[in-house]
Amino acid sequence: MVHFAFAGRCSTEDLQDPETSRNWQLTRARALIEPAGGKIVTEYFDAGHSRALPWKRRPQAAALLKALRDPHRGFDAVVIGEPQRTFYGNQFGNTFPLFVHFGIPLWVPEVGGAIDPNNEAHDLVMSVFGGMSKGERNRIKIRVRTAMASQAQIEGRYLGGRPPYGYRIADAGPHPNPAKAADGKRLHRLEPDPAAAPVVVRIFTDYLRGKGYYAIAESLTRDGIPCPSAHDRARNPHRPGHDWSKGAVRAILRNPRYTGHEVWSKQRKDEVLLDIEDVTLGHRTRLAWNTPDQWVWSAQPVHEPLISMEIFTRAQAKNSARGSAASERSPRPTDRPYALRGRLRCGICRRRMQGNYNNGQPYYRCRYTAEYAKNTALNHPLTVYLRQNELLPVLDAWIARFFAPGHLGRTLQAMCESQQRHSPTDPALEAARRTITETNRSIAQYRAALDAGADPVIVAGWITSAQNEQAAARQQLVAAARS
């Protein structure tokens, strides 16, 4: 009897039932191997991970690749129930040589048994399935984007998610899809929020009268008007909600949905290589802004406008003039040394402190009111300064204790253990660490994009994708730590 390992994958759980997907792939695999006397003894099934992720970045697939190297792996061959679920693009060409190297046959239903590495037809069939898998994903993306664009432009449909500050969500009748309507799903639309809508009008009015972002934020905070995250705490539990910021004012002034039109595709997803030195590690998703000529506007106003199109156009013209003036200033690079660059955070607001030279001496500062209006609830000074020359002796004395003769042995042992725990010798683990870092940065950018008025449906999908990618990387690190 030949002992097999089963390999499979299904998409995110909100799109597919993982158990159903696993069962039908497992059924196909058993139908292939059981007539030949095969038996599945172990499984490597990834649930909730995109097919675009290479095998090294899927936790179960990576575990299978690691098991190939183990002479006591417990199985003699690997069977895949559905190649289009498992291989994407050129992944077969990057993965199958490992099976050949370790002498592990790979069985797939499409060739009726084990893939022959010397058979050109087998190689062509598997390459075709990888291309079909990539094409299927691309077609789905095109269909979804085209459908959403037409819904926004022709129907003016509200596509869901977080409403812009100044609006709230209202019912717009049953869903046009009969199946979704039968499930109780309904359409929604935007309607003015009685408390916040006048604030939006005030912001546009003050801006066109000559006030700047910070002056508007300061006047709103001074008058006790809750900022957007404080006004809607249910959707913003992760934000402090102390006061208005320049960024919040700027996002409101740049949001075209206050004209009554539905506007979609203000942002897009770009896929960039995770590591240009190793293209087999695949891509990561990066959020990018589209230019205004790429936005999709509804043909007619579809909800009550808070401002006229003329006022919005004037505000954008003023914004553009501001941006052009700012872009003429070139950045000021510095070669001044900061021993603790990027390592200090303000003890009051927890933001990272910036390096700054003052009277010929290096300092670290936190200028809270450079972005946020002054608020007595936080009790943050205008600027917090920390002199480097006063901090380094204290830090040096603290470090010196660990390298004192009586502690030196324990310190060196701890450093060696730390290096072993975090050693980047395994490229897959190093890629997983980079993935966690990049997805944390991406999620922060996506949340900022929501505050800037991005389409909530699209951004929610990006956040979900980034979180799934991050979860896969974390599982991979946990599995490596346990082994």
User: Are 196 and 224 contained in the same domain?
Assistant: yes
Residue 206 domain flag: yes
Helix (H) or strand (E) holding 186: strand 186-192
Cβ atoms of 130 and 101 closer than 8 Å: no
Model confidence at 323, in pLDDT bands (50, 70, 90)? Answer: low
pLDDT in tens, 103-120: 999 999 999 999 999 999
User: Are 234 and 304 contained in the same domain?
Assistant: yes
The predicted structure's pLDDT at residue 4: 96
User: Are 62 and 91 contained in the same domain?
Assistant: yes
Q: CA 182, 184, 187, 192: dihedral to nearest 10 degrees?
A: 160
Number of domain units in the chain: 3
**CA count, 13 A, side-chain hemisphere, 169:** 14
User: Are 107 and 205 contained in the same domain?
Assistant: no
Cβ atoms of 170 and 303 closer than 8 Å: no
Cβ atoms of 306 and 192 closer than 8 Å: yes
Cβ atoms of 26 and 4 closer than 8 Å: no
User: Are 77 and 172 contained in the same domain?
Assistant: no
Residue 429 domain flag: no
Residue 348 domain flag: yes
CATH number for the domain harbouring residue 189: 3.90.1750.20
What does the alpha-carbon distance between residue 228 and residue 199 come to, in Å, rounded to a whole number?
A: 10
User: Are 191 and 246 contained in the same domain?
Assistant: yes
Model confidence at 439, in pLDDT bands (50, 70, 90)? Answer: confident
The predicted structure's pLDDT at residue 70: 92
Residue 413 domain flag: no
User: Are 103 and 230 contained in the same domain?
Assistant: no
User: Are 87 and 16 contained in the same domain?
Assistant: yes
Q: Is the dihedral of CA 205, 209, 215, 219 positive or negative?
A: negative
The predicted structure's pLDDT at residue 483: 58
The predicted structure's pLDDT at residue 415: 81
User: Are 349 and 220 contained in the same domain?
Assistant: no
User: Are 205 and 321 contained in the same domain?
Assistant: yes
- Assigned token pair, 397: 């004395």
Residue 278 domain flag: no
- Residue with the bigger pLDDT between 450 and 170: it is 170
| In the predicted structure, residue 195 carries a pLDDT above the cut 90 | yes
DSSP states of 17-42 as a string?
-HHHHHHHHHHHHHHHHGGGTEEEEE
Average pLDDT, integer, range 31-42: 93
Find, among 386, 346, 347, 383, the residue nearest to 364 by Cα: 386
pLDDT in tens, 113-170: 999 999 999 999 998 988 888 888 888 888 888 998 999 999 999 888 789 999 999 9
pLDDT in tens, 364-373: 988 776 566 6
pLDDT in tens, 253-284: 999 999 999 999 888 888 888 778 777 777 88
Domain that holds residue 208: 167-262+298-325
- Chosen domain end from 385, 402, 419: 402
User: Are 36 and 89 contained in the same domain?
Assistant: yes
User: Are 96 and 185 contained in the same domain?
Assistant: no
Q: Poorest-confidence range of 411-415, 448-452, 468-472?
A: 448-452
What does the alpha-carbon distance between residue 11 and residue 47 come to, in Å, rounded to a whole number?
A: 6
Residue 408 domain flag: no
Largest CA distance in the chain: 83
CATH number for the domain harbouring residue 46: 3.40.50.1390
Residue 84 domain flag: yes
Strand blocks (E) in 360-458: 361-366, 384-387
Average pLDDT, integer, range 206-226: 91
Give the mean pLDDT of the chain.
84
Residue 124 domain flag: yes
The predicted structure's pLDDT at residue 435: 80
Model confidence at 325, in pLDDT bands (50, 70, 90)? Answer: very low
What does the alpha-carbon distance between residue 431 and residue 420 come to, in Å, rounded to a whole number?
A: 17
